[in-house]
C-alpha cells in the first residue's frame, strides 16, 4: 500500500481496515471486512479524494488481502 498516495488520516483508516481483513477469524468476518474496505475506497473515489490509479491500487491491495485470508480460513 506504500505506493498509494493517501493523507495521514485516510492512511490510518486504510491500515485499520486492512488489519481487520488480516485478522478475521471466520469467512463471514473476512468478507464483511472486505466489503467495508471496498466501500471505503468507493467513498473516497466518489468524493474525488483519490487519483484514479490510487483507487485501483487500493482496491487491489484489499482484494489481495481478502483472497489470502479466505484461502487460510477455508478448511
Query: Residues 61, 4: contact at Cβ < 8 Å?
Result: yes
More confident residue, 4 or 61: 61
- Does residue 18 carry a pLDDT above 90? yes
What are the residue boundaries of the structural domains of the chain, listed by start? 8-73
Structure confidence by residue, pLDDT tens digits, 25-73: 999 999 999 999 999 999 999 999 998 899 999 999 999 999 999 999 9
- pLDDT for the residue numbered 71: 97
pTM: 0.92
- HEC per residue, the chain: CCCCCCCHHHHHHHHHHHHHHHCCCCHHHHHHHHHHHHHHHHHHHHCCCCCHHHHHHHHHHHHHHHHHHHHHHCC
Position 1 scores a pLDDT of 80
Amino acid at each position: 500500500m506504500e505506493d498509494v498516495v493517501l493523507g495521514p488520516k485516510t492512511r490510518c483508516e486504510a491500515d485499520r481496515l486492512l488489519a481487520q481483513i488480516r485478522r478475521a477469524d471466520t469467512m463471514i468476518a473476512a468478507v464483511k471486512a472486505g466489503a467495508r474496505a471496498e466501500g471505503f475506497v468507493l467513498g473516497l473515489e466518489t468524493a474525488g479524494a483519490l487519483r484514479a490509479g490510487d483507487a485501483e491500487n487500493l482496491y487491489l491491495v484489499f482484494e489481495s488481502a481478502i483472497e489470502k485470508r479466505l484461502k487460510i480460513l477455508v478448511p
